[in-house]
Amino acid sequence: MDTNKTIEILNLGLIPYRDAWDFQENLLSEKVSEKSKRRIESDLPFSNHQLILCEHPSTFTLGKSGNPSNLLVDEQFLSDHQVDYIKINRGGDITHHGPGQCVGYPILDLECFFTDIHRYLRLLEETIILTLNDFGIESGRFPGYTGVWLEPDHPQRARKICAMGIRCSRWITMHGWALNVNNDLTPFEWMVPCGIRDKDVTSLSRELGQKVDMSLVHERIVTHFSAMFGATLMAKERPVSHPLG
């Protein structure tokens, strides 16, 4: 069976979280429909996959297994600070998105690559680990948790720099990672990040002591992502179906 390992890189810039979520859902629905048609027309070609890169205005998101009590502020506080709060259909608990954070949403049909969710998550983590290494930051995995951590071998100093949470339907992925680059970390004090009470959160700029060029972060992520999945990449301009036009 011929498959397609071409991944389109879609940089949507700063986009409201709900709009990006709707955009992902539309892409996933298209791929599910395509798979259904292929059962009837076996020679139907595979469409390209997508890697969405973007940033969001200040937003808390709570995963489907998350505990609402991990948000430590009330609705009035959120309103006063112009922060959205959205319950979503990814795995994981609560996290925060804000400008200056590198958010990545791979929309992949894993049947074109491999059918192993554990392996998929480890490759996403490895993509971020290699990217951080390019900036001189050593990172790794913290036993029992997803995401990417600094000093994971020292529990008292371990701090999270990248959160991850995904959804997979019929082997098609959505959601992904949130890598702290230049974003304000104050909102992480208003919650229990990922439901973990005794660990700090950090960012690339905090660790380096200076602001980081986001375009360079994107470039390194895309390079490592391509290598991890053995994919051909295709840069694509903002699609006409983008919810912001």
Tens-digit pLDDT profile for residues 50-68: 999 999 999 999 988 888 9
Residue 231 sits in a domain whose CATH number is 3.30.930.10
Indicate whether 227 pLDDT > 50. Answer: yes
Which runs of consecutive H residues, i.e. helices, occur in the chain? Answer: 17-40, 75-80, 117-134, 204-208, 214-229
Q: Identify whether 209 is part of a domain.
A: yes
Q: What is the overall mean pLDDT for the chain? A: 91
**Residue 1 scores a pLDDT above 50:** no
Which domain does 122 fall in, by range? Answer: 6-236
Is the residue at 243 inside a domain?
Answer: no
- Distance between CA 139 and CA 187 in Å, rounded? 23
- Give the per-residue pLDDT at 239: 52
92-112 average pLDDT score: 95
The pLDDT-based confidence of 220 (bands split at 50, 70, 90) is very high
Q: Is the pLDDT of residue 241 over 50?
A: no
- The Cα 199–Cα 156 span in angstroms is 8
Residue 1 within a domain: no
The reply to whether 245 falls in a domain is: no
Give the strand pairing for 59-62 and 94-97: antiparallel
Identify the pLDDT of residue 194: 67
> Does the annotation mark 102 as catalytic?
no
Could you say which of 54, 102, 112, 194 is catalytic? 194
State pLDDT tens for residues 165-209: 999 999 999 999 999 999 999 999 998 876 666 778 999 999 999
Question: Which stretches does DSSP call E strand in 26-99?
Answer: 49-55, 59-62, 84-87, 94-97
For residue 124, name the pLDDT band (cuts at 50, 70, 90).
very high
CB atoms within 10 A of CB 109: 22
Return the pLDDT at 155. 81
In a domain? residue 244: no
Angstrom distance (rounded) from CA 118 to CA 152: 19
Spatial distance between the Cα atoms of 87 and 62, rounded to a whole number of angstroms:
5
Query: What is the number of domains present in the chain?
Result: 1
- Going from the C-alpha of 150 to that of each of 113, 158, 175, 213, 214, the distances in angstroms are 29, 6, 23, 20, 20
Q: Give the HSE-up count for residue 67: Cα atoms under 13 Å, Cβ half-sphere.
A: 10
Strand pairing category for 172-180 and 101-107? antiparallel
Please name the helix (run of DSSP H) or strand (run of DSSP E) that holds residue 98, with its range, or none.
none
